[in-house]
Chains A and B, each alone.
Chain A
Amino acid sequence: MKKLALFLLCLPLLQACKVDTDFDGPDLNDLYGPYALTEGLSSSRDSVDFSMGESVLFTAGFSKRVDWTLSIKGLTSGAQKVQKEFGSAVGFDWKGETTVFPMFRSEWCAVELTVENQADTLRDTVYVVAPKVNNGFLLSDFEMGLNPSWQSFIQSGQNMSFGLLNNGDIPQGQRAYRMGGTVTWDWLIGMIDIPASAYGQTYYPLSSNANNVYFNMLMNKPADYDNGVLLLRFMEDDNEDGSFTSGSEDMYAVEIKGGPDGWRLVSLKYNDIKSLVNGVESAPDGNGIHEPNKLVQVSMLFLANPASGYSETAIDYVMFTEGSPLQP
């Protein structure tokens, strides 16, 4: 018994000084080893039809983990897709999305792969047969002008510039809608009401899951004007009488102001949109439940401080999507 116990006491020594045959964390050689290109830039196809659900896979490999940037630029539109990652391999599957507007169209694209702190630039080209088709309920892309069933109100101020925009800097298609002007007596410069009836429906064709519904649009903030506020209002018909009644039914709203110059994507999850009174969050007037399936009207109000002078913005490609935000 004593011998067995003494033997047990000595057992731990059998494990002495062994070092595991694998290691924790990323390989230091991957992070700090010498840099070399182990696999050149290549694409899985020369031409791609995004409208048919095709994609193009770009691959490359390095001897260590690096900060790499893959840039795809439309040679006609100037659209750009930029993908930045940290890793020892490039494996980017492009499905036609855009990072820098305008959106891609049918065109040749130049592909560049650069690595931080390395001089080499790897190049390739790919032809886009047809651009990506975005699924969702499109309110307007303004290609056919303003929907005649929309109702607009424009103040009689100075330099009022409400109308279609076609200046060659349009993010999608050829046209967008511009709102601008100077109104010295009121914050409101102009507004558009977009009722569901403009599409022959009582309610917008959306699901009842507010966490699944997204409102999206492309919006431009000109570099010279920072004073504009775009107020979006979403009016619900809680009692299902076919119309929105102010003061007794839910109206959710969001103010969009500031942000970077130029065109950008604005995507809002419907459930995240609050009820506002004079810009301050407040309790909704109706049942307080976000019900996109009872949405009867969307309104866009362009506002600016009356003392701030001329203000301008533009919108394009206004769309509801379900499941995820718009990925143009």
Chain B
Amino acid sequence: MRQYWIFIWVCLISLGSWAQPNTQKKVTFFGAARAQFYSDAYEPAVADTVTAAKLNSGNVLADLGMKVQANKQMEILAMVRVRNDYGGFWGSGVSFDVRQLYVRGLVANRVRYHLGDFNYKMSPYTLWNNDQELMPFAPTGLQQQWGVLNYDHFYNNDHSWRQQGAAGDVTFLFANVLESLSLKTMTSRIRSTDFGNTPDRLFSGITADIMVNKHWSADVLYTNTYDLKGTSNNATLLRIPVVTSSLLYRNDIGASHVELKAEKGWSHLYHDQPGELKDKRGQFVHAVANWARPDQGWSMQWAWNRVDAGFRSPGAQTKRVLFGGVPTAFERTGNDQVLRTINGMDLMRESSLYNMQLQTQLMDYRMEYDNITPYGAATPNRQGMDFHLNWKRKNNPLTVDLKYYQGQETRGEGTLVARKFQRQTVRLTYETPHEKSQEKFFVVANVQYRNDQTRRTLPDVLPQVNWNNQVLSTALDLHWNNRWITNIGWQSVAFKGSEVQTIRDFNGEIANFKPYVQDGSEQMLSAGMTYQFSEQSYLSAQWNSFHRQDEINASTDYRWKQWTLLYVMNF
């Protein structure tokens, strides 16, 4: 298969060479290069004579891309990745992969199409790639490592999922009644057949955006995750259609900008020839009101949402992190060589813990990092209200961001009493006023704090839920000039209390409960220097110190110190 892709790539290069003399055809080369080295030291709190205390790892890679503008209406892109792991030599540890390949263009100057690899998003309830836990709170030095992970897995700031398939869109403009109607559609394969019992699984989405006038707009979205009949011997085929519709009103009232939006959706998980597999139906509603005074820097949002316990939307509920995975660095620790639990440091650097395919079952999550919205806005069994206040005024160095969420379950688990949730988030940023063109010293300081509380009070004989987790992050970036940056940061994740874990059966139904008690924290300190060659290239040396504390089981306490050298270049 690899040879096949290499052949295609060589053909495309040949095509590029052939295309040079033709003035209508244009070939652009682009790509990225990266070198990343880790030097790790593991320091357990209790004697460990088995685990190797020091590890060195890393890799060097180059992504080489070529974009061919075959004609005015067609573009072809191919990118290959050549990677050599630290210690790889004479072919061992070297990999050569196709990173992306697509063809896109226009049909009749109206319909856009895209075949191959593409990034796609729809809405937070249909197709949305939610940020991984802790990442939004990382100080700058750690953000660089998160950035590497996100680049490798095609996780973008627009929350799109990397898909492989076909997409197209067309827009109609009208003279009366409506202003415009945009239709978008896509289909991708999210699982391939094994030619035995596992059928091909596809994901399709359709979006209709209706612009009535400058104040009113609406949309209807439909997604379906489905097994393709005939691609395996299995007659039990999964279907998860999701339909949503929304209405949006926006207007400027004086100096204020107002937006009101309401959205409602339905999902139905079922199987053809289900056997013992059960149907699952669910709905959600979401209402949001935005008010902003751009001249004064104020913006405010009030939102309400309710997502039924039975609502299933693989495109929106799939997580980035595979919490069921195992870390590769210090995989087993202690004299008994027990599998080490994933921590915040692993999340920042372990590529193998990350998922790129949409999943049809609710994936595992760690309540230590997020117990309220583990599946983003589409987290099932949640209802509540959140309030968001932001102040950012032009030419003012300070930015203030406050959030408050209060909610509860829509359906109790093991009892009619619903869990109740509270979340407070504060984010303060200070950035010395400066001009980008001037080589002057400036400072960026950042403090973020999130406090999550989950409670469910039941008679004493039953397991109680009283769970608290807090994330505190501070960062100080000293920009000496346009090239040199010193960054210092600290991140703390504290978790304490009792919860009840759910154990699900093959249907995804809750089959049992398991009380879960934790009292611990993860502290991460970061300090380093970054040299920026340009806006797209930098060299960074960072020192990180990680400390896991467990007040209940001290044998899992350890420190992990890490030196990182990271060179990133985009061209």
Contacts and interface: CB of A to CB of B under 8 A. Distances in A.
A12 B306 CA distance: 9
Contact of A15 (B285, B409, B463, B512): B285
Contact of A11 (B261, B262, B413, B500): B262
Interface string B200-229: 000000000000000010000000000000
Nearest to B415: A28
A119 interface: no
A8 B247 contact: yes
A144 interface: no
Interface in B425-460: 458
Interface string A1-24: 000011011111101111111111
A27 B287 contact: no
Interface in B259-315: 260-264, 285-287, 304, 306, 309
Contacts of A11: 262, 264, 285
Nearest to B463: A32
Given A5-B247, A9-B262, A34-B461, A24 B412 contact: yes
B538 interface: no
Contacts of B383: 15-18
A323 interface: no
Interface in A25-63: 25-29, 31-34
Contacts of B408: 17, 19
A31 B509 contact: no
B178 interface: no
B513 A31 contact: yes
B462 A13 contact: no
A111 B258 CA distance: 75
Most buried by A among B264, B409, B412: B412
Given A6-B249, A8-B247, A19-B418, A26 B409 contact: no
B552 interface: no
B562 interface: no
Nearest to A65: B512
A22 B247 contact: no
Contacts, number: 99
Contacts of B415: 23, 27-29
Nearest to A16: B304
B413 A23 contact: yes
B88 interface: no
B260 A19 contact: no
B224 to A, nearest CB: 24
B249 A29 contact: no
Contacts of A33: 461-462
A22 B463 CA distance: 19
Interface residues of A, number: 27
Given A25-B413, A25-B511, A15 B462 contact: no
Nearest to B412: A23
B414 A31 contact: yes
Contact of A9 (B261, B409, B413, B463): B261
B interface: dominant SS: strand
Contacts of B458: 28
A9 B462 contact: no
A12 B414 contact: no
B262 A8 contact: yes
Given A17-B383, A31-B513, A32-B463, A24 B413 contact: yes
B410 interface: yes
A300 to B, nearest CB: 36
A19 B411 contact: yes
Nearest to B500: A28
Given A25-B511, A28-B462, A28-B463, A13 B412 contact: no
Nearest to B384: A17
Interface string B2-27: 00000000000000000000000000
B416 interface: yes
Interface string B379-411: 001010000000000000000000000001111
A31 B511 CA distance: 11
A65 to B, nearest CB: 9
B245 to A, nearest CB: 10
A20 B309 contact: yes
B510 interface: yes
A27 B264 CA distance: 31
A24 B411 contact: yes
A63 B60 CA distance: 63
Contacts of B414: 23-28, 31
Contacts of A8: 247, 262
A9 B412 contact: no
Contacts of B306: 12, 15-16
Contacts of B216: 5
A123 B427 CA distance: 66
B462 A19 contact: no
A9 B502 contact: no
Given A24-B309, A29-B462, A33-B461, A13 B287 contact: yes
Contacts of A32: 461-463
A79 B562 CA distance: 63
Given A17-B383, A32-B462, A33-B461, A9 B247 contact: yes
B411 to A, nearest CB: 4
B512 A26 contact: yes
Contact of B411 (A10, A16, A22): A22
B219 to A, nearest CB: 14
A5 B247 CA distance: 8
A200 B416 CA distance: 69
Contacts of A27: 414-415
Interface in A151-167: none
Most buried by A among B286, B381, B513: B513
Given A19-B411, A25-B414, A31-B414, 10 more contacts: A9-B249, A9-B260, A12-B285, A17-B383, A19-B408, A25-B413, A26-B511, A27-B415, A28-B462, A34-B461
17 contacts: A5-B216, A5-B247, A6-B249, A9-B262, A12-B263, A12-B264, A12-B286, A13-B287, A19-B412, A24-B381, A24-B412, A25-B511, A26-B510, A28-B500, A28-B513, A29-B462, A31-B414
Instruction: List the 5 shortest-distance A-B pairs measured between CB atoms, nearest first.
Output: A25-B510, A28-B414, A12-B285, A20-B411, A23-B412
Interface of B: 216, 247, 249, 260-264, 285-287, 304, 306, 309, 381, 383, 408-416, 418, 458, 461-463, 500, 502, 509-513
